[in-house]
Chains A and B, each alone.
Chain A
Amino acid sequence: MVGPHMDEHRLDEQKLDPRPAKGRGVGASIPRKEDARLLEGRGRFIGDMRFPGQLEAAFVRSTLAHARIRGIHIPAHLKGRAFTHEDMAGVKDILAKTGLPGFRVSAQPSLASTKVRFVGEPVAMVLAETRAQAEDLAEEITVDYEELPANVDMLRTVKPDAARIHEDWPDNVFLVSQVDSQFDGRLAGAPIKVTREVRTSRQCMAPLEGKGCIAVHERHTEQLHLWTSTQMPHIVRSGLAECLGLEERRIRVVAPDVGGGFGWKGLLQPEEVCCAWAALKLDRPIKWLEDRREHLIAAANCREHHYIMTAYAEADGTLLGFEALAHVDAGAYSVYPFSACLEGAQVVSNLPGPYNLPAYRCRAYSACTNKPPIVPYRGVARTGVCTAMELMIDAVARAAGREPYEVRLANLVRPDEMPFTSITGKAFDMGDYPESLRRAHAMIDHAGVRARQARGEPDGRRIGIGYATYCEQGAHGTSVYHGWGIPMVPGFEQCGARLTPDGTLELRVGNQSHGQSMETTLAQIACEVLGIDPDLVNVVHGDTAMTPYSTGTWGSRSAVMAGGAVASACETLGGRIRRIGAHLLQAPVDAVRIEGARVVGPAGSVSFKEVAHTFYRAPQNLPRDADPAGLDLVAGYRPTVDTGTFSYASHACVVAVEPDTGEVEILDYVIVEDGGVLLNPMVVDGQIYGGTAQGIGTALYEEMAYDEHGQPLASTFADYLLPGANEMPDVRIAHMETPSPNTRFGQKGIGEGGAIAPPAAIGNAINDALADLGVELTVSPMTPRRVREAVTAARARAGVRPAGGVS
């Protein structure tokens, strides 16, 4: 810890004296503490790390989507350097079961054993001094495959005649999830009945930093240390222990700096199991870094949904009922810990979204296909269901001849109905959903856009306006997850808090901050409770040896759960500080209070520094009956109601569409969001911007296509397009702050929201722009080609022969 940057952390008397922490607690947009490290290149990611004697791994990956392995031929000189499933005897397959009735279990071997089930599945591991050498050696390994028919289409894989992906299953269906509530024959007479088919494409999560890990056998502690780019170190430890047959005390999992996760780092990876096994087997550190090609090929693992939906409504668009048949392409295996069915089950329970549906029926197939296993990506199923539902709302509005905005308003759950239990049992905590839409409507200048639309554009493009409203369940706990029976049920969250001998504060939390700014926001919570300046607080996270157990960072849970735990720990610590402070002030404990990192009594005050110094270094100044528990503790938290917070937002956007080229430009984009009490509004804005960029990717750019043999058709970012800075509009954000009644500060989980609504809002805007041509796109991403094809098809339907006779 010696370096040029230590200067700023010098023990400076002045700095440790009471600093005005006012205005730096909950609700303050203080700059991110982690930025200095990350922006100056002082972060430490897996790619920056190297251990003495380290070997690097390259994986031989399946080149076929579905095949039996007849043999793996490894040249003799690779003995001890190349390993297959056979070598890893005793290592258990990755199993992520659920307790849901009818769920089919898939065993995922860390290296393929008898079959390969998707292109990119690891078949053999090769180790060498460098990655380049490992790749050279990997080329010498040949695999003899017997190719089997590939199941590429989720609608066809579920048919009885499809080739079995898991031989002992009766069909290729992980699970059928369904809900049938209040749905009856009366709907048949509904004045409006609208049916649509909607499809969203398979995506890669593409975090800035790919996956990576280094497994190290620490002989002196008889431990396996796994340094890994993960969102959930404690869960990885449990899963790894199960696979390797080790006691958890013998495994330490550490996530160093992690450059984005989005869900791709929220699972136990086969590659982690392989590296850990090899580190123990060879007694050498083993490193693997996912490269972009591996990511694009082997980790195109999210977002692929298909819906056939019918909405039933009154003539004015008031919804009477909703019916859907959904398919989720869940890929080849059930991932640990979330399983193959989180997405499918969420489709069923979240499709009604923020609307008050009187009747609802939905069946969702979690379809097993020869593609990478589905992993919950930021927003999980909500991006798909929001796209599906919001396109339907616009379709209903067109049928009713009303503005989609008005039909939304008519159907959203109203504030006077809050707290509200949705038709699928979701307990909406608090909020004014219609108001978010009204504000978005005002901010986007709806009337002005309609007037501009009527005038027409000088360049011949067409303008459209689109809306989407959603609510996002976050930080849901035991009562939601226990019923699923997956390997992980979130319950309590703890935080370790320690006042150091010089009166600064260390917090230890079991989740992981990989872009969420928790080193800042959790320190702000300590500031709120203890009045200590966030700069004097260290947040330690992502290390099973240092932190209390946590299921990790996922599901928009950290602000609520880790935030609540930090508050609990700081309150408990504050009590102990007060008792010592009261003694030093010679005042009764109930006569002193904590303010600005000091214990303040009726006549004078003492600083945390004096309190800490007394306890650690001058205990002789404490009374005989002083509490020996000290200034180092772990305290826990669980929200009063653990069914989750419901943040929500309305997105509105204006697009310009060129019907001939299909080019789409986002002209304006507004978000009115309610995340409850914001711990740090600047951080929330950052989360929303980032999520929105990903949502724009889903809407317009990102798609992993497959050919009929299950071969992925993109292997570089020239083929798999991500939005860049130029594709990002200047998003305007407004906040409503309706406190959640169920959380410590009224905060709600908001981490995923930005990524949920853009495909719906942009899709609706494109359809609005092209409405008079009779065009309605229902497949995302809405690429220029899809726009052109839809325009061409609509013109053909209309029997219009455009100039030149092209239809």
Chain B
Amino acid sequence: MKPARFDYTRPADLAAATAALADAGAKPIAGGQSLGPMLNLRLARPSLLVDVVRLPDLRGVEEGPGGVLFGAAITHAEFEDGAVPDPTPGFLARIAHGIAYRAVRNRGTIGGSLAHADPAADWPTTLAALGAVVHLAGPEGRRELPVEAFILGAFETALGPGEIITGVFVPRCAAGARFGYRKSCRKLGEFAEAMCAVLSDPACGVHRLVVGATEARQLVVTEAAALIADPAGVEDLLRRAGLAGDPATFRLRRAVIGDAIAALARETTPESLTS
């Protein structure tokens, strides 16, 4: 279980990273929490690893009135520990705390999680629910995509050749915003078998619901107010989205979405978030 041969470079700035990534066999690495095992299993065989985890452009945090732009290389642990500002009432720290294990959180990054696009990972589902926007840079220049437009399917993203995620913009929630989150994992720290994130921010007029841990693209409901008011609609939603699956899977998804919605009502402080 040793990786095949590869070269390694740690460019000094974003321009150098983009130039290095022009190589067809090049792949960016940040925390390496998914790519590392894939290298060892020889499932990923890049000829060149471009280490972007210390790029100043990817480590910055810009706080503005509308939200916070987090550098892509901010780690889960930095969110968990409150080392970066949070434009939500504590949602980001809570979600980060529930990602895998602390050892993974110490190295894993928010940008890496989005780029890997595991449907059962916490950030893609959470960030889509929060209406976050992915910032990209590549040979064609810079662009921005909402998370739900960035993630095209299981392990599939809109990243073009040589393009990397530079940051994620998370919009600011109003003070009374609530966030319901529920994932069903076979054990603590494992990838979820079913997951759902719901944002209810009436002051901003935002009600979003995201179903993750699907076999394909995440299910994003951008106008979820009716669903939150009457969760009976969940069954239709799953059927229409082709997520009904077999009866046992359907039962699980329905329960998890119901729990996430129910968590909104229970939530009075960030501490009561279910995870």
Contacts and interface: CB of A to CB of B under 8 A. Distances in A.
Interface of A: 130-132, 135-136, 139, 291-294, 658, 660-663, 701, 715-716, 718, 721, 723-724, 726-727, 783-785, 788-789, 791-792, 803-804, 806-807
A293 B41 contact: yes
A132 B4 CA distance: 7
A130 B193 CA distance: 38
Interface string B165-201: 0000000000000000000101111110110000000
B255 A660 contact: yes
Which of B186, B191, B193 has the largest count of A CB atoms less than 10 A from its CB? B186
26 contacts: A130-B2, A132-B2, A132-B3, A135-B42, A136-B5, A293-B1, A294-B1, A661-B184, A661-B252, A701-B186, A715-B41, A716-B37, A723-B187, A726-B187, A726-B189, A784-B186, A784-B252, A785-B248, A788-B252, A789-B247, A791-B251, A804-B254, A806-B235, A806-B247, A806-B250, A806-B251
A291 B1 contact: yes
Contacts of B189: 724, 726
- 9 closest A-B pairs by beta carbon, nearest first, are A660-B255, A132-B2, A726-B188, A788-B248, A291-B1, A804-B235, A789-B248, A792-B247, A661-B255
Interface of A is mostly: loop
A724 B235 contact: no
Contact of A662 (B191, B235, B252): B252
Interface in B1-26: 1-5
A806 B184 contact: no
Nearest to A788: B248
A660 B248 CA distance: 8
B265 interface: no
B256 interface: yes
A131 B2 contact: yes
A803 B254 CA distance: 11
A209 to B, nearest CB: 15
Contacts of A662: 248, 252
A721 B254 CA distance: 24
Nearest to B248: A788
B232 interface: yes
B212 to A, nearest CB: 15
Which of B1, B184, B232 has the largest count of A CB atoms less than 10 A from its CB? B1
A807 B247 CA distance: 7
Contact of A727 (B42, B188, B252): B188
Nearest to A715: B41
A806 B254 contact: yes
Given A139-B4, A660-B252, A784-B252, 4 more contacts: A293-B41, A661-B252, A716-B41, A727-B187
A293 B1 CA distance: 7
A718 B121 CA distance: 13
Contacts of A131: 2
A658 to B, nearest CB: 7
A789 B186 CA distance: 15
A621 to B, nearest CB: 62
A783 B188 contact: no
B31 to A, nearest CB: 16
Contacts of B187: 701, 721, 723-724, 726-727
B191 A718 contact: yes
Interface string B224-264: 00000000100100000000000110111011100000000
Interface of B: 1-5, 37, 41-42, 184, 186-191, 193-194, 232, 235, 247-248, 250-252, 254-256
Nearest to B184: A661
Contact of B184 (A294, A663, A715, A716): A663
A806 B1 CA distance: 44
A726 B102 CA distance: 13
A267 B163 CA distance: 52
A660 B3 CA distance: 41
A804 B187 CA distance: 29
A660 B253 CA distance: 9
A294 B235 CA distance: 43
A701 B185 CA distance: 11
A784 B184 contact: yes
Given A721-B190, A784-B193, A136 B1 contact: no
A788 B189 CA distance: 21
A664 to B, nearest CB: 10
Nearest to B236: A804
B4 to A, nearest CB: 7
Nearest to B232: A804
Which of B2, B4, B189, B250 has the largest count of A CB atoms less than 10 A from its CB? B2
A766 to B, nearest CB: 15
A252 B108 CA distance: 46
B238 to A, nearest CB: 10
Contacts of A789: 247-248
Contacts of B42: 135
Contacts of A724: 187-189
Contacts of A783: 186
Nearest to A723: B187
Nearest to B1: A291
Which of B42, B187, B191 has the largest count of A CB atoms less than 10 A from its CB? B187
Contacts of B1: 135, 291-294
Contacts of A785: 193, 248
B186 A135 contact: no
Contacts of A663: 184
Nearest to A787: B248
Contacts of B254: 660, 804, 806
A294 B193 CA distance: 26
A315 B251 CA distance: 38
Contacts of A139: 4
A46 B197 CA distance: 47
B115 to A, nearest CB: 18
Contacts of B248: 662, 785, 788-789, 792
A807 B186 CA distance: 23
Contacts of B41: 293, 715-716
A583 B116 CA distance: 80
B186 A721 contact: yes
A293 B186 CA distance: 21
Given A135-B2, A136-B4, A292-B1, A660 B251 contact: yes
A693 B155 CA distance: 34
A807 B193 CA distance: 20
B37 A788 contact: no
Contact of A788 (B2, B235, B251): B251
A726 B1 CA distance: 28
A661 B42 CA distance: 35
Contacts of A658: 255
Contacts of B186: 701, 721, 783-784
Contacts of A701: 186-187
A791 B252 CA distance: 11
A785 B254 CA distance: 14
A23 to B, nearest CB: 40
Contacts of A294: 1
B246 to A, nearest CB: 8
A111 B254 CA distance: 51
A718 B36 CA distance: 14
A663 B42 CA distance: 34
A292 B187 CA distance: 20
Contacts of B193: 784-785
B37 A792 contact: no
Contacts of A726: 187-189
Contacts of A788: 248, 251-252
A724 B42 CA distance: 27
Contacts of B5: 136
Nearest to B2: A132
A779 to B, nearest CB: 14
Contacts of A791: 251
Nearest to A789: B248
A297 B235 CA distance: 39
A785 B232 CA distance: 23
Contacts of B188: 724, 726-727
